[in-house]
Amino acid sequence: MSAAPLARVADRDEDFARLGVQRGQVEPWEDGMRTTGGPGSYEWWYFDSHLEDGSSLVVTFYTKWLLNPKAREAPMVQINLDRPGQPSRQLFVHATPEEFSASKDRCDVRIKDSYFRGDLHTYQIQVVADGLTVEAELVGQVPSWRQATGVTYFGAHDEHTFAWLPSVPQGRVRVTITEPGSSPKTLTGIGYHDHNWGDVAMSKLLNHWYWGRAQAGPYSVIAAYLYAEKAYGRAELPQIVLARDGQIVADEASKVRLVLEDVFTDAHSQKPVANRVIYDYTRDAHVRYRVIFQRSQTLLDQRFADTVTGIKHALAVLAHVDGAYLRFSGTVTVEKYQDGARVEQASDPGIWELMYLGHVE
């Protein structure tokens, strides 16, 4: 008898029954709060966008800092704004548990004067931080999707959970940015929203991952490749959804092969970074897709030990905290092959990330 897998996608009939979700159907409550917010859990709602003038905007609402789920609620909003010809801006809004609320029936999250709300199709996001006000509307173009139940279990007896719900795999975005001393600037573009949660520090489950999403011509794509920690057999956990004109054409993780090309060691984080990240998807004997993320710029390069100061920084160094988060921009290309011949190719700007929670092996 073979041993039980140490990390697995929850895709069995009993998993759907236990979690109360339906195959192939996402409901609004799934984007509501899925944890208690208490010790051991974490949760976040994420939005990113690539705008018409080349700007990129990323907004994340957290119940607490994901690296410290043992703590009580410590709500926080993080904003990353990159505009052509201007320095990158990273801002935070910190709040008390009393300044946070989240519905269990739908996405309706409030942190101080900021909010993130929607119904799996249309979302409104507002953030006020250090004089900057960001207002965004996201309208879905590709239906909500999840891989099986959206949950990955870790442990021989499903002891721990990591979950991911792409509520809006791709949508139209309208963003208004108001900065001190400037008139409001309204931009349009393409955006994305997902929702993540879990019940134990991610660093205990996952070593690192690549994740990215983009539009390329008629295609939209979300692609990820996760590597479990040693305790979970270093399992490789691919995830992908590829849509053409709003219709999903590829979403079976077992058919994905990851190729990393032109790999170098990043000078700041000391992590290996691939200039080209390729998801090679063989749909059947005749059709194959390649999704290519070609890096042109590093938008964010952050070592976890540097996110705290004073004694906490010293303790992080002594504890060999080695994690890092990098976000990239560049060109994303989708290629379609029919019987070995390339029959389609489309490229557009995109955003993707490399998260290192553990040590480089």
pLDDT at residue number 309: 45
Give tens-digit pLDDT for 324-335. 999 999 999 999
Res. 68 pLDDT band, cuts 50 70 90: low
pLDDT at residue number 310: 44
Res. 312 pLDDT band, cuts 50 70 90: very low
Res. 114 pLDDT band, cuts 50 70 90: very high
Q: What is the mean pLDDT of residues 229-257?
A: 93
Q: Which two tokens stand for residue 91?
A: 């801002």
Calpha distance 30→198 (Å, rounded): 14
Among 30, 68, 12, CA closest to 195: 30
What is the value of pTM for the model shown? 0.85
Res. 317 pLDDT band, cuts 50 70 90: very low
**Amino acid at the residue 144:** S
Question: Residue 224, exposed/middle/buried by CB under 10 A (0-12, 13-18, 19+)?
Answer: buried
- Bridge partners, 297 (sequence order): 329
Sole residue written with tokens 């890092």: 324
The DSSP symbol for 311 reads H
Sole residue written with tokens 């809004």: 93
Q: Which two tokens stand for residue 279?
A: 């998801």
Among 229, 226, 218, CA closest to 333: 218
- What's the sign of the alpha-carbon dihedral 213, 153, 206, 102? positive
φ, ψ at 174 (rounded to 5°):
-130, 120
Helices assigned H by DSSP within 146-275: 202-205
**Amino acid at the residue 282:** T
Give tens-digit pLDDT for 262-307. 999 999 999 999 999 999 999 999 999 999 999 999 988 988 766 5
Contact 323, 177 (CB under 8 A): no
Calpha distance 313→310 (Å, rounded): 5
Q: Which two tokens stand for residue 78?
A: 């993080």
Range from 1-5, 55-59, 71-75, 354-358 carrying the lowest mean pLDDT: 1-5
Q: What is the mean pLDDT of residues 7-35?
A: 96
pLDDT at residue number 325: 93
Instruction: Quote the distance between the C-alpha of residue 170 and its chain's center.
Output: 13
Among 89, 28, 32, 31, CA closest to 57: 89
Q: Which two tokens stand for residue 124?
A: 């409104």
343 versus 201: the higher-pLDDT residue is 343
Q: Which two tokens stand for residue 67?
A: 């690296």
pLDDT at residue number 28: 98
Sole residue written with tokens 């909500």: 144
Contact 218, 244 (CB under 8 A): yes
Calpha distance 43→184 (Å, rounded): 31
DSSP of 92-158:
EEE--GGGEEE-SSSEEEEETTEEEEE-SSEEEEEEEETTEEEEEEEEEEE----STTSEEEETTTT
Residue 27: CB partners within 8 Å, gap ≥ 6? Answer: 21, 120
The DSSP symbol for 190 reads E
Res. 70 pLDDT band, cuts 50 70 90: low
pLDDT at residue number 69: 66
Domains of the chain with bracketed CATH: 1-200 (2.40.370.10), 201-361 (2.40.370.10)
Helices assigned H by DSSP within 180-252: 202-205
